[in-house]
Amino acid sequence: MSAVLEAPKAFQLSAATPAPVPVKGLHHFAWRCRDAEETRAFYEDLLGLPLVHIIRADNVPSTGENCPYVHLFFRFTDGSHIAFFDLGDDTVSEPSPNTPAWVNHIAFEVGSEAELLAAKARLEAAGVQVLGVTDHHFVHSIYFFDPNGIRLELTRRLDPPEYMAQKEASAHAEMAAWVKEKAARRAARAAQGQAGQSGQPERAGA
């Protein structure tokens, strides 16, 4: 299966499609961890997120698969969580081989610039390499990796009202421009494939 999507998936939406329900926000994001205690030390002792829930099971409830694990949850101050599975094998989830390391990440919000700087100082004092503060106009962010290779971002909102309103107003036009640009790139790839036709399908990432 090619990793390159040549024809975007079209969803079947019509007036008869049931309306979307309100999705409130993050309940938890879950990832594999290499070691539950190493992960607890990072999230609870260093980042200050309390460990609030442990599920120890041998069978996966959703699939029935036998795979002894511990599932651990750390709570944010807004009641949402980040969660992990330790499968007991000391194996870290491998990073995506076809995605730059800065792409896949999860961002957590802090309350102020002072807190962002204090978090950076604490992480660095503990030996964690931190990138930033980076100015994204609507947020200021720092970046670092957890022991499981997850790229984390701590961010604080600036949300300048005029800028936010202008970006919201232009979001669909900006999206349409990207769709157009991407279609041109796709067509160029197809033309290139035809020009150098060797009977081989174009390879993902080649």
Residues that bind Fe ion (CB under 5 A): 107, 153
CB count in 10 Å sphere of residue 166 = 11
Nearer to Fe ion, 57 or 106 (CB): 106
Residue nearest to Fe ion (CB): 107
Least separation in angstroms between CB 177 and Fe ion: 21
Nearer to Fe ion, 107 or 177 (CB): 107
Least separation in angstroms between CB 20 and Fe ion: 24
105-110/81-86 β-pairing: unpaired
Q: Give which of 178, 201, 174 is closest to 189, Cα–Cα.
A: 201
Q: Give which of 141, 134, 148 is closest to 34, Cα–Cα.
A: 148
Torsion of CA 133, 135, 141, 147, to 10 degrees: -70
Report the alpha-carbon distance of residue 40 to residue 74 in Å, rounded: 8
Least separation in angstroms between CB 116 and Fe ion: 14
Contact 92, 70 (CB under 8 A): no
Least separation in angstroms between CB 105 and Fe ion: 6
Least separation in angstroms between CB 115 and Fe ion: 17
* β-bridge mates for residue 152, sequence order: 106, 144
Nearer to Fe ion, 70 or 145 (CB): 145
CB count in 10 Å sphere of residue 134 = 12
Nearer to Fe ion, 84 or 143 (CB): 143
